[in-house]
Amino acid sequence: MVNLNKAKEMLISIPIWKGAIIVEPLEGGITNHNYLITDNNDKYVARFGEDLIHHQVMRFNELAASKAAFEIGVAPKVIHNEKGLLILEYIQSSPLTPGKLREENTLKKIISLMKIIHKKMPNYYKGPAMIFWVFHVIRDYAWTLRKMHSPYVDKLNHLIEDSNKFEKISGPYEIVFGHNDLLAANILDDGAKLWIIDWEYAGFNSPLFDLGGLASNNGLTEDEENFMLEEYFGHKVTLNLKNKYQAMKCASLLREVMWSMVSEITSDIEFDFNKYTKENFDRYKIEKQKFFQ
């Protein structure tokens, strides 16, 4: 854990500042320890975080994705990086709320950004790249939970059976470069444009995962989901597309449930992961029931 005193000590030693810096905790984030740095009139964000193998998070990938996202104009600039630390330009902005995100004009802007990310990121991403395959992630979470003697072990066989069904239904697949963590808090509004931050789960994936994650993380209604799909694909929603999308949406929710189950055991962030697991598990069971009906 990188507390405030440790963060100050580490950040002050980096020889990139114009003067004496001010370091303050930055709210938000349930994977990293984040701090706001003020250097004279300039501000930056410091993200402290090591590789998290059990979450498929590799920091070399986050760095490469962050740089590529800046190059295509959707993310802040990387100022400095070293092992366990990423320093980014600070964007004066507010994170979206799920309510704001669901507004038609905002949703249109997000879909436009998503299409840019999906198609352009591979042209700017340098070095080895990750694939974020949700069905592998779910299987790997199950292995981790068994190894750690999680209290949820008795549920895992049924969850893997569900995941296998979703994997069969959601193919065949188009592969794009996805953000893979489209929470409202990861989308910033500076009053003129939207920015996408937190690229630690970025990697090649089906576009349906980002679409399903955007919907499930932010409570989109069925009408809003249809609008999102039509805006992204440029045509009316067919039954085949809707079935594939709904399967991937369920897989996205299941992955969030199991992410939280693992985090209950492994995380040192001050956050109620038990509550988060329950909330997402309840949402998952509702969506699964609707889908299989």
Average pLDDT score over residue span 123-136: 97
- Alpha helix ranges (H) inside 219-268: 222-233, 239-266
Q: Burial-class residue 234 by CB neighbours within 10 Å (0-12, 13-18, 19+).
A: exposed
pLDDT exceeds cutoff 90 at 31: no
Q: Average pLDDT over the chain, rounded to whole? A: 96
Backbone torsions φ then ψ of 202, nearest 5 degrees: -65, 150
Task: Read off the pTM.
Answer: 0.95
Q: How confident is the model at residue 1 (pLDDT cuts 50, 70, 90)?
A: confident
Question: Nearest CA to 201 among 160, 252, 157, 268?
Answer: 252
What is the CB-side half-sphere exposure of residue 288 using CA atoms within 13 A?
19
DSSP letter for 75, please. Answer: S
Question: Nearest CA to 135 among 265, 276, 251, 49?
Answer: 251
> What secondary structure, in 3-state letters, does 157-179 show?
HHHHHHHHHHHHHHCCCCCEEEC
Q: How confident is the model at residue 5 (pLDDT cuts 50, 70, 90)?
A: very high
E runs forming strands in the chain: 21-25, 33-39, 42-48, 78-82, 85-89, 94-95, 176-178, 187-189, 194-196, 203-205
What is the CB-side half-sphere exposure of residue 151 using CA atoms within 13 A?
8
Domain 4-89 has CATH 3.40.50.11720: no
Length of the chain: 293
Predicted confidence at residue 28, as pLDDT, reads: 74
Domain residue extents for the chain: 4-89, 94-292
Q: How confident is the model at residue 293 (pLDDT cuts 50, 70, 90)?
A: confident
Rounded Cα distance between 253 and 27, Å, is 24
The pLDDT tens digits of the residues spanning 78-113 come to: 999 999 999 999 999 999 999 999 999 999 999 999
Which fold does the domain 94-292 belong to in CATH?
Aminoglycoside 3'-phosphotransferase; Chain: A, domain 2 (3.90.1200)
Predicted confidence at residue 76, as pLDDT, reads: 98
pLDDT exceeds cutoff 80 at 29: no
